[in-house]
Amino acid sequence: MLYIEPKSSDIAFNLAAEEYVTRSFPEEKPVFMFWRTEKCVIIGRYQIAAAEIDLQAAHSLGIQIIRRSSGGGAVFSDPGNIMHSLITPFDKSSDAKKIEREQSAEPLARALNKMGIPAITEGRNDISVGGKKISGYAQYAVKNRLCTHGSLLFDADLDLLARVLKTDPEKINSKALKSVRARVANLREYFNPTISATEFLELLKSHLFDEFNVENYDFTEYDIKQINIIRSEKYANPEWTIKNTPRFSFHNSKRFPAGKVEIFLNVERGVIKSCQIFGDFLGILPVGELEVKLINQPHDFGVLSETLAEIYLRLYIGDIKREEFIECLF
């Protein structure tokens, strides 16, 4: 087995790195990777960001939102979270869940057990300790290779996680998948609380690789060039995250001191295709003019904030504040 540890905390680079390995490395050679990130939320391939994330909070806190190539639920990550990837041979007759369980989840749980942490595999794709989730998995295949990847909470900011990963099932009506956030815990709670995430990872590697013949591999200049091409064309490209959003309808209603605002949107490939605004606000121009200005705009907090900053909203929605109106759009 090859072991690779990307020397980057850029989520877009690391997702591109595992895809590059999945696409380009020899099919018969398993590859394992550990990597870490700056604070971000990684949404599943078929998820709607607005259904999974408090987009206003994420924007204000500087939390990057990025879409991965696998399915499953939204994952919060920061430097206290340890991400892991396993790339293995695969064909359509293979049992992907068995590969995940036997080649990744169970060895990882055994390594944690050796460290005195009572981790077990359970559910459809989880590792838990004391009934709390500390790791979840997802998978995707490219050609004859399967990428199985997941997260391992060691010392993540769980308060920030709870603030950002919020859903309101009444707002979104769609056939797209929605995640249900499980109860989670940090491994630090079950281990030496003075140890750093870096030190913990070194210990984990020593126990995990006891049962494998591991060969270290460093990305070459050529590898890094190819990874950066995937990064720029896909994961770091906002169109990958926004335009791959499934079609959905959105409804939100809020009352403010200056009146009530009710909004209905239809969004396709991340772009607003229809917009209706109702309420008892005291505007002086037809609100339909404002609706037209929002149509064909990306349903993105940063983009809409910039668009609305250039519009004299008081003409349309009276004394409703710009920040309050933006809040209604997500």
Domain ranges of the chain: 2-243, 248-328
Q: Is the pLDDT of residue 3 over 50?
A: yes
SS3 268: strand
Q: Is the pLDDT of residue 283 over 70?
A: yes
Question: Can you list the positions of beta strands (E) in 51-193?
Answer: 64-67, 75-77, 81-89, 119-122, 126-129, 132-142, 145-153, 172-173
246-262, pLDDT tens digit by residue?
Answer: 899 999 999 999 999 99
Cα–Cα distance for residue pair 45/47, rounded to 1 Å: 6
The CATH superfamily assigned to 2-243 is Bira Bifunctional Protein; Domain 2 (3.30.930.10)
Q: Is the pLDDT of residue 167 over 70?
A: no
Inter-residue contact 7 to 34 (CB < 8 Å): no
Least confident of 38-42, 95-99, 149-153, 317-321: 95-99
106-165, pLDDT tens digit by residue?
Answer: 999 999 999 999 999 987 778 999 888 999 899 999 989 999 999 999 999 999 998 999
Token pair 């959905």 is found at 248
Torsions phi, psi for 254 (to 5 deg): -140, 145
Cα–Cα distance for residue pair 281/264, rounded to 1 Å: 16
Mean pLDDT, rounded, for 27-54: 92
**What pLDDT does 56 receive?**
87
Written as one letter, the residue type at 263 is I
Mean pLDDT, rounded, for 74-78: 94
**What pLDDT does 298 receive?**
93
**What pLDDT does 180 receive?**
42
pTM: 0.85
Mean pLDDT, rounded, for 271-278: 96
Does 248-328 match 2-243 at the fold level? no
**What pLDDT does 126 receive?**
84
Q: Is the pLDDT of residue 238 over 50?
A: yes
Query: Token pair for residue 198?
Result: 């870096």
175-199, pLDDT tens digit by residue?
Answer: 665 554 447 899 999 998 889 999 9
CA torsion sign for 66, 247, 168, 171 is positive
**What pLDDT does 229 receive?**
98
Other C-beta atoms closer than 10 Å to the C-beta of 226 total 17
In the chain, count H helices and then E strands: 13, 15
**What pLDDT does 169 receive?**
61
Contacts with 59 (C-beta within 8 Å, 6 or more apart), sequence order:
301, 302, 305
- The class level of CATH for 248-328 reads alpha beta
Give the whole-number percent of the chain exceeding pLDDT 90.
72
